[in-house]
């Protein structure tokens, strides 16, 4: 691993940020800062389990996508054995990028510079002029593509470049209870519906990650039209109701919006709701059946949202799931990936409707996405200003709230849904990484 670039002054500043979070304060500049960005690459993204792909994006042997961990481009491929491998997209000869497309199918990759050939699992199998040039001085077994460790949970493929990272199961911890809502829609699980929407935005990844960790506070304001026009199957006046659940010490958090009188599993086809009642645990069924909106973030930069959306205003909503990855490409600049996840076993008609609801609400041009991005870009710009260096934000909502003793799900669970509890947990974990505790 490269040397850690953090100066003693920056270390002290990070420690002071860490102390501030415990008191409900977090500095503005963190959301658009070159030094913070550089340290995040080294200490957060080079250490955490980072989301790479959903297994259903590469269902067949040879299928691949290219994705990033920090600034490292990776080929994530399903090999001939059926196993998934992630390898650094960098030729071991002189460093050329091996694969130039974002997705495709290939059993091998041939370097366009001097012609070294690798299997999609990363092994070097072909070297031009091997006998004449190298005269036995290299062993192909030593010069395969650099491998990245991967593990999966319910179809999600994660990778880490930290050899000492704990197993993924431990990393996700009890958040798996909540992830199942998105990933186990029906007994066969969920799959992506088409390739991701993919765009670049002048937004810091942390603003998006925080919002999706359960910012129910912004919804009645930023997305006011949704209530006014009838796209939302609830009303702004009940929007604070529900729970904020976070997993202490892990950073993951989810907001669970609840509308009294909302029919159980509203917006799902009835047969799918029945399947979920059978395949999920009784505690999960109790939580999920009464959830209108579920919006959560897996630390650091993977988020999900599920909610019903009325394709025709005023009519019954269709429940859709979006999964989103915020890949940081600069201070205050993010490459967004956004997928629609649908239940594998659902009818084609429901999959199409869910995709339609997702596209109208989120994706690159969705109305809700536009509302959010407009705000996030302005927050990012302000956070990068000179006066913002000395400004802090309050994270004190629900500071003293205690765990709801009746809630059947794991973690620190507080009510109402409008609460900073999940964000304190998120930034506290971020601080653990940034101060080198992880």
Positions in the binding site for ligand FES (CB under 6 A): 91, 93-94, 96, 111, 113-116
**In whole angstroms, how far apart are CA 366 and each of 223, 256, 309, 322, 358?**
12, 22, 12, 12, 8
- Pick the closer one to Fe ion by CB: 284 or 334: 334
Burial class (CB in 10 A: 0-12, 13-18, 19+), 4: exposed
Closest approach, Cβ 342 to Fe ion, in A, equals 21
Cα(104)–Cα(100) distance, integer angstroms: 10
> Looking only at Cα atoms, what is the longest distance across the chain?
78
- Pick the closer one to ligand FES by CB: 105 or 112: 112
Closest approach, Cβ 84 to ligand FES, in A, equals 24
Cα(249)–Cα(264) distance, integer angstroms: 32
Q: With contact defined as beta carbons under 8 Å apart, do 107 and 63 qualify?
A: no
**CB under 5 to 8 A by kind: which of Fe ion, ligand FES, none does 110 bind?**
none
Q: For Fe ion, how many residues bind (rule: CB under 5 A)?
A: 1
**CB under 5 to 8 A by kind: which of ligand FES, Fe ion, none does 93 bind?**
ligand FES
Interface stretch with Fe ion, choices 103-111, 200-208, 252-260, 367-375 (CB under 5 A): 367-375
Closest approach, Cβ 91 to ligand FES, in A, equals 3
**CB under 5 to 8 A by kind: which of Fe ion, ligand FES, none does 378 bind?**
none
**CB under 5 to 8 A by kind: which of Fe ion, ligand FES, none does 56 bind?**
none
Q: With contact defined as beta carbons under 8 Å apart, do 107 and 75 qualify?
A: no
400 contacts: CB under 8 Å, gap ≥ 6: none
Closest approach, Cβ 216 to Fe ion, in A, equals 10
**CB under 5 to 8 A by kind: which of Fe ion, ligand FES, none does 111 bind?**
ligand FES
Closest approach, Cβ 119 to ligand FES, in A, equals 15
The helix (run of H) or strand (run of E) holding residue 109 is: strand 108-110
- Pick the closer one to ligand FES by CB: 91 or 360: 91
Structure token digits, residue 105: 């199918």
Cα(124)–Cα(91) distance, integer angstroms: 10
**CB under 5 to 8 A by kind: which of Fe ion, ligand FES, none does 114 bind?**
ligand FES
**CB under 5 to 8 A by kind: which of Fe ion, ligand FES, none does 276 bind?**
none
Interface stretch with Fe ion, choices 265-273, 317-325, 368-376, 411-419 (CB under 5 A): 368-376
Strands 124-126 and 84-88: unpaired
Omega before 25 within 30 of 0, i.e. cis: no
Closest approach, Cβ 293 to Fe ion, in A, equals 10
Q: With contact defined as beta carbons under 8 Å apart, do 276 and 265 qualify?
A: yes
Question: Counting contacts by CB under 5 A, is residue 369 touching Fe ion?
Answer: no
Interface stretch with Fe ion, choices 71-79, 108-116, 187-195, 371-379 (CB under 5 A): 371-379
Q: With contact defined as beta carbons under 8 Å apart, do 297 and 246 qualify?
A: no
Q: With contact defined as beta carbons under 8 Å apart, do 51 and 301 qualify?
A: yes
- Pick the closer one to ligand FES by CB: 96 or 240: 96
Closest approach, Cβ 142 to ligand FES, in A, equals 15
Q: With contact defined as beta carbons under 8 Å apart, do 342 and 193 qualify?
A: yes
Closest approach, Cβ 66 to ligand FES, in A, equals 16
Closest approach, Cβ 98 to ligand FES, in A, equals 7
**CB under 5 to 8 A by kind: which of ligand FES, Fe ion, none does 100 bind?**
none
Answer positive or negative: Cα dihedral of 181, 429, 300, 437: negative
Omega before 300 within 30 of 0, i.e. cis: yes
Structure token digits, residue 214: 């359960």
Closest approach, Cβ 134 to ligand FES, in A, equals 12
Q: Using CB under 5 A, pick the residue from 204, 372, 420, 432 that binds Fe ion.
A: 372
**CB under 5 to 8 A by kind: which of Fe ion, ligand FES, none does 209 bind?**
none
Cα(37)–Cα(434) distance, integer angstroms: 10
- Pick the closer one to ligand FES by CB: 94 or 218: 94
- Pick the closer one to ligand FES by CB: 143 or 393: 143
Cα(80)–Cα(131) distance, integer angstroms: 28
Extended beta strands in 377-433, E state: 392-394, 412-414
* Residues in contact with Fe ion by the rule CB under 5 A: 372
């Amino acid at each position: 691993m490269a040397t850690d670039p953090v100066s003693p002054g920056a270390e002290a500043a990070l420690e002071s940020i860490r102390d501030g979070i415990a008191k409900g304060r977090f500095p503005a500049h963190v959301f658009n800062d070159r030094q913070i960005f550089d340290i995040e690459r080294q200490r957060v993204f080079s250490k955490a389990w980072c989301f790479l792909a959903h297994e259903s994006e590469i269902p067949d042997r040879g299928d691949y996508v290219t994705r990033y961990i920090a600034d490292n481009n990776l080929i994530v491929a399903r090999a001939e054995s059926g196993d998934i491998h992630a390898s650094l997209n960098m030729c071991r000869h002189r460093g050329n990028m091996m694969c130039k497309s974002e997705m495709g199918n290939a059993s091998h990759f041939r370097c366009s510079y001097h012609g070294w050939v690798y299997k999609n699992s990363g092994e070097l199998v072909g070297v031009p002029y091997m006998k004449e040039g190298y005269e036995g001085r290299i062993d192909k077994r030593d010069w395969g593509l650099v491998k990245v460790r991967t593990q999966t949970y319910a179809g999600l493929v994660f990778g880490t470049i930290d050899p000492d990272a704990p197993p993924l199961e431990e990393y996700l911890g009890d958040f798996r209870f909540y992830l199942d809502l998105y990933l186990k829609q029906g007994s066969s699980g969920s799959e992506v519906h088409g390739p991701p929407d993919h765009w670049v935005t002048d937004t810091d990844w942390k603003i998006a990650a925080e919002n999706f960790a359960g910012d129910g506070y912004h919804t009645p304001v930023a997305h006011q039209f949704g209530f006014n026009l009838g796209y939302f199957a609830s009303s702004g006046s009940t929007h604070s109701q529900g729970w904020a659940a976070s997993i202490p010490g892990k950073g993951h958090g989810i907001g669970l919006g609840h509308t009294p009188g909302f029919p159980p599993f509203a917006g799902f086809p009835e047969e799918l709701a029945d399947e979920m009642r059978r395949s999920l645990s009784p505690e999960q069924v109790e939580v999920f059946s009464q959830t209108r909106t579920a919006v959560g973030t897996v630390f650091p930069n993977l988020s999900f949202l599920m909610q019903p959306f009325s394709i025709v205003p005023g009519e019954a909503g269709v429940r859709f799931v979006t999964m989103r990855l915020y890949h940081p490409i600069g201070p205050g600049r993010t490459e967004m990936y956004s997928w629609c996840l649908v239940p594998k076993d659902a009818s084609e008609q429901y999959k199409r409707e869910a995709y339609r609801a997702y596209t109208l609400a989120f994706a690159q041009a969705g109305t809700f996405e536009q509302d959010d991005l407009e705000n996030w870009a302005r927050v990012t710009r302000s956070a990068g200003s000179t006066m913002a260096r000395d400004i802090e934000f309050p994270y004190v909502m629900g500071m003293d709230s205690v765990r709801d003793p009746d809630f059947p799900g794991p973690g620190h669970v507080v009510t109402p849904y409008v609460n900073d509890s999940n964000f304190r947990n998120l930034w506290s974990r971020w601080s653990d990484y940034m101060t080198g505790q992880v």
